[in-house]
Structure 1
Amino acid sequence: MKKKGLGLLLMASLLTGCGGSSSVTYDPDHFVDYYISGQDFETLNYLTSMSARDLKVIANIMDGMVETDLYGQVVPCLAESWEHNEDYTVWTFYLREGLEWVDANGKIYDRLTADDFVYSAEYVLDPQTGSNNVASYELIQGARAYYEAKLAGEQPDPSMIGIKALDERTVQYTMAGGGCPYFPSVLGYSAFYPTSRRFVSELTSDDPNISPLSVFGNSKDTVLYCGAFILQEHQLDTERTLVRNTHYWDKANVHFETVKSLAVKDEESVVEYFERGEVSYAPLVNNKAKTEYDNGNQNLVQKDTLAMTYALMFNNQAKYSEDVNTAMSNEDFRKSIYYGFDREMFIELINPINPSSLTARTFTASGYLYTEEGTDYTQLDPLQPYQSEQYQPDQAASYKQRAMDTLQAQGVQFPLELRYYYQAGNETAALQARMLQEILETNLGTDYITVSLHEYSRSFVSEARSTGDYALAIGGWNPDFADPINNLTCLRSDGTINNAYAIETLGNAHFAYPEFDAMLEEANAITSSLKERYTAFARAEAYLLEHAYLVPIYVSGGTYELTTVNNYSHMHSKVGIDQFKYKGLIAYDHVITASENEAFKQEWENAKPSA
């Protein structure tokens, strides 16, 4: 396919004075963020949610045992230290003195103790809570057995769970099925954050059909706070305001008095807010970054890439067409899309200046998992064949013909209608949808497929996934901790973005592939060598790519923005939810220039500890 850049989709739009007027100033003590209208948080229950829109708030009102520093290293947070036994099967964490819970009014509620971590496990593993984080506890001894016993209606003893409060400031974790050398990074995930047993027990519901357990976290007043901020105000899909927690244990590293988040219609409109001094940074999306780059704008700042990979997923349980389901279950059909999808052309919408810098070759991103010898996980032998250009039109055409021959013999009628949903009113999402449509229809031909575009008003889950009225979806996973098991578990046959069993509630795809599940289990049993462990996981991931169960497209981050922020002053974590934290972040009263940003980066690199 001939490269057409952005011409078919975008009109040239010059930004007059993009970067803010010299008369505009910004308040460095009162940070202003944004979110897209319709993507406000739905719950503050950090023990049940795994949604990014929720976790962006949760990360700032809660803390865990550990956090990450400026260089992505795991460092103490609520725990001041920890130790493990020789084979990494038992970990013991020691809490800081003087930790306190506060309520939504900033008043001290109680001391934070070791039992709060024990209770979090009991809550997550209680089927009544409907937690999406049960799988996170599978590495804890007894957790799975406890959950299954509760599910069967039994009343198991919580002491069977391998999390013990040895005293008020000491928590001991016992692993299931062998050692876990990466365990500290696991505890940075919100499902392991502490929860006050007494506070939850005091919650009530006016509806007798709603358990008090389900009340926890459904508003700013039904959750306690131990993080850097407190949610002071919240107007749904309008704005929300965080205020500094004056009882926080690490106040010296919190530089904002308030953080306000405004709901905006789409990312394109944020620049206007920024130019008026109404937000603290603004992304430059679509052709805006390219226009400003070509015009020599000195305020363009490129962000670092992150570890979340976005991939094209195939729905093999579409309710609107059995022909689509038959095709999605055909490997040649999936491979025709895999090799016919021009990733770089799609990424031009996200980063038109250097799109190849964001190209994803694998579902696991590069740059955050390394063997003992320093080899990047994505460069291990099983994944090497996928590091070259995967857009291969000739191969796509060959697989197309094979698929058509097989599927027509089965009675499938062509062209197949592939439905794709995007959020109404979000111009960025609309452009991406039209680009996806253009790429697939042009490269594979409308005699084979047509891509029909549909809008959802608020939730893809409730308006498309639950109804099965789609064939294609773009989804991703932000790793919660630094090990391949976390990144790949979501793709298991019973995972969260692939699930063959809970079709209406989980998964963008619904494949059952016991071979992959077995490979994951085998890899996870290896704990003696990172190289052996990672290579085994790489073989499992290569299995998914070989059979085209998904199409990796791009990694998050790496885009251009206008900002008042020193992007090297915050936690540089590619895993977990620390990337959402405002703690440590430093803002200025003016727009940062590219040269200032480079100076920040140089200072950051000079201070980086030796490996």
Structure 2
Amino acid sequence: MKTLHKTLAATLVSASLMGASGMALAEDRHPETGEMLAEEQVFTYRALDESSSLDPQVVEDVDGSYIVRDLFEGLLNSDEEGNLVPGVAERYESNEDNTVWTFYLREDAKWSDGEPVTAQDFVYAWKRAVDPELASPYAWYMGLMSIENGEAIIAGDVDKSELGVEAIDDYTFRVNLSRSLTYFPQMVTHATTFPSPKWVIEEHGEEWTKPGNLVGNGAFVLTEHVINERLVRERNDLYWDNENNMMDKVVTLVINDENQALNRYDAGELDKTDVPAGQYPRLEKESPDEAHSIPQLCTYYYNFNNDVEPFDDARVRRALSYAIDRDVIVNNVMQGGQFPAYTFTPELTAGFTPPDVAFGEMTQAERDAKAKELLAEAGYGPNNPLDTTILYNTSEGHKKVAIAISAMWKQKLGVNATLENQEWKTFLSTRSDGNFEIARAGWCGDYNEASTFLDLMHSESGYNDANYVSEEYDAMSKEAQMMDDPSSVYTEMEELIAVDMPNAPIYHYTEVMMLKPYVKGWPFGDVQQNVQSKNLYIVEH
């Protein structure tokens, strides 16, 4: 039996020393580190775009998931090193072949309206996530979790009531899988698996995530939300671990212009912002205690729409990918410590060793020569230049990458690439609907295992925006799911997509940010950067 026992949160503080907010009052010092705490525990940060949703079963973006982690809590959390720690579940266990997982919930977890959090709330949320009526953009993720009948329900072949989840009692939640899955606990830290309040959703419908309506079980409650401008969440006094949460308020400011955001950071309006492309070397030199470049479990890439001409021809896709000088992109354009990508899965991924794919072993000159040859074979050249469009979501960084790549294609291959940008939600719809030729994309691991990247290219993946279909790749994916150690198959999958090139991996991310030195508790050691505001605190400054 595999069991995770409850860990100690923070050093317990005597109730006589606790204020109404839950923060220690003994000399206003941090109970573990002894640091002097600021009187105001407020964290303000910049987001590039409005979040896709505040609904756990609907949210699909990184920034939105951070907000949802503050408003809701799943079965398990991750600590500052990325290790699993208790959330609503105090402990869990599996049967011998890892096909049945049982989670034992804490009895002191409450919703922000005072209702207890129960196993039924997880049953409701998970059935909701796979329900075709909701059409969650992350329904496919529940399929990856291999929950019994999950994929059939998502396909509309079986009723959601047949999903392999059950509430044994109010505080025991059991999941039955269709196959052995050793990393299943990692998958329940994702927002899609968080509980949802049935009574609130039934009362308010689509309006349930608005301030005043939203009921969550996280460390914070939603108090203000001005679309495309500002979102505020404040301490939830009913959160089970409220006494160890030192943060009173978190403010998200949506600022599309990253240079404007940096100016506002410098003016003291923001505690955290992203570093504009190309500015990290200067900022790291000027403010070494504020500029950070953290390796992150993410890949930046361009999707080729495999459904439309000429991108239904692998020679065209390979030619364009080969002609991208990734060293120039990371060293001259981004300049934030990013890593050139020749495989889709980052080297940081646990248990994964990137294979030496053929085009990654070439020199750039060799890649450029091969690109010309491939494009000529496909019928394009000086007398028949390829014209295309690169779609990206509005961002100065994405624009700079697109300008650089389009210039490479023009200079080396005579390709004419027009740039088109759209605001975030429109961009997501356009890309998902397949109304593009080439589209910018980024993927961050939902859990730390190679399948979180490689399953994206499965023909039935909800995020296979490249519309890549390969029976051989799908068969490999299925084979990997049946193996205790699928590393050899993962290598074969990477080698296959390096030939078929459904998309062009460009670089593996770093989290490049400015963070005020008085903000403490940031999870620098977590490659997934699953930030939770309840773990942050502000020291006197």
Q: Same fold (TM over 0.5)?
A: yes
The yes-or-no answer on 1:137 pairing with 2:128 is no
Which whole-Å CA distance do the structure 1 matches of 2:177 and 2:424 have between them? 40
Residue 312 (structure 1) shift: 1.8
CA offsets, 1:446-503, max 9 Å, x none? Answer: 2xx11111232454536743775532222122121233222222221122332xxxxx
Q: Quick one: which of 451, 459, 474 aligns to 1:517?
A: 474
Q: CA deviation at 1:115?
A: 0.7
Q: Is the Cα–Cα contact under 8 Å of residues 431 and 439 in structure 2 kept in the other structure? A: no
Contact preservation (8 Å) 1:342, 1:391:
no
Asked if the contact 1:311/1:554 (under 8 Å) is kept, the reply is yes
Query: For the residues of structure 1 that align with 2:55 and 2:430, how far apart are their CA atoms?
Result: 24
Partner Cα separation in structure 2 for residue 163 and residue 79 of structure 1 = 15
**1:581 equivalent among 516, 532, 537:** 532
Q: 2:177 aligns with which of 165, 175, 178?
A: 175
The one-letter code of the counterpart of 1:167 is: D
Alignment correspondent of 1:191: 192
| Counterpart pick for 1:245 among 236, 239, 242 | 236
Give the match for residue 552 of structure 1: 505
- The code of the aligned residue for 2:173 comes to V
Residue 14 of structure 2 corresponds to none
Partner of 1:15: none
Query: What is aligned with 2:300?
Result: 310
Aligned-residue RMSD, C-alpha? 2.8
Instruction: Return closer, same or farther for 1:270/1:391 CA change in 2, 3 Å cut-off.
Output: farther
**C-alpha separation in 2, matches of 1:585 and 1:555:** 26
CA 1:386/1:569 → structure 2, altered by over 3 Å: closer, same or farther?
farther
CA deviation vs aligned residue, 1:274-302 (integer Å, no higher than 9, x gap)? 222111023332343333456x5444532
Distance 1:252 1:552 in 2: 44
Find 2:391's aligned residue among 411, 416, 421.
Answer: 421
- Which amino acid in 1 is paired with 2:400? L
Q: Is residue 2:180 matched to residue 1:227?
A: no
- Displacement after TM superposition at 1:556 (Å): 2.1
Does structure 1 conserve the Cα–Cα contact (< 8 Å) formed by 2:392 and 2:427? no
Q: Distance in 2 between matches of 1:478 and 1:516?
A: 21
Deviation at 1:225, TM superposition (A): 0.7
Is contact 2:100-2:175 (8 Å) kept?
yes
Residues 1:345 and 1:51: Cα distance change in structure 2 (over 3 Å): same
CA contact (8 A) 1:63 1:227 kept: yes
TM-aligned CA distance change 1:535 to 1:35, over 3 Å: same
SS of residue paired to 2:133: helix
Residue in 2 aligned with 1:451? 417
- Counterpart of 1:439 (choices 408, 431, 438) is 408
Residues 41 and 362 (structure 1 numbering): CA distance in 2 closer, same or farther, change over 3 Å? Answer: same
d(CA) in 1 for partners of 2:524 and 2:240?
17
- Contact in 2 for aligned 1:268/1:428 (Cα 8 Å): no
Distance of aligned partners of 1:300 and 1:199 in 2 relative to their CA distance in 1, 3 Å threshold: closer
The structure-2 alpha-carbon separation of the partners of 1:87 and 1:540, relative to structure 1 and needing over 3 Å to count, comes to same
Partner Cα distance (2:241, 2:371) in 1? 57
Select the residue among 258, 269, 277 that pairs with 1:286.
277
1:69 and 1:454 map into 2 onto residues whose CA distance is 39
Mapped to 2, the partners of 1:390 and 1:252 lie a distance apart of 56
Q: Give 3-state SS (helix, strand or coil) of 1:474's partner.
A: strand
TM-score by length of 2: 0.85
1:56 aligns with 2:66: yes
SS at match of 1:313: strand
Aligned to 1:335: 318
Instruction: Give the corresponding residue for 2:345.
Output: 364
Where does 1:208-607 land on structure 2 (aligned, <5 Å)? Answer: 212=205, 215=206, 217-293=208-284, 297-318=287-308, 325-326=309-310, 328-348=311-331, 351-352=334-335, 355=337, 357-370=338-351, 377-379=352-354, 383-385=355-357, 392-407=364-379, 414-424=384-394, 426-442=395-411, 444-446=412-414, 449-461=415-427, 464-465=430-431, 470-498=436-464, 507=465, 509-527=466-484, 532-559=485-512, 561-564=514-517, 569-570=522-523, 572-575=525-528, 579-590=530-541
| 5+ long unaligned stretches in structure 2 | 1-37
The separation in 2 between residues aligned to 1:346 and 1:566, in whole angstroms, is 31
Q: 1:406 to 1:98 in 2, by over 3 A?
A: closer
Q: Cα distance 1:496–1:28, how it changes in 2: closer, same or farther (>3 A)?
A: farther
- Quote the sequence identity (%): 22
Report the secondary structure of 2:123's partner residue: helix
CA distance in 2, matches of 1:463, 1:146: 24
**Alignment partner, residue 6 of structure 2:** none
Shift of 1:221: 4.0
Moved more, 534-543 or 79-88: 534-543
Tell me what 1:30 maps to: 42
Aligned to 2:125: 120
Q: What do residues 99-123 of structure 1 show as CA deviations (whole Å, max 9, x unaligned)?
A: 1111xxxx42x11111111111221
2: CA distance, partners of 1:369 / 1:566: 29
Cα shift readout 1:293-345 (whole Å, capped 9, x = no counterpart): 56x54445323111011112212345xxxxxx13x222222222222111121
How many matched pairs? 503
SS in 2 for 1:185: helix
Tell me, yes or no, if the aligned pair for 1:125 and 1:134 is still in contact at 8 Å: yes
Look up the SS of the partner of 2:147 in the other structure.
Answer: coil
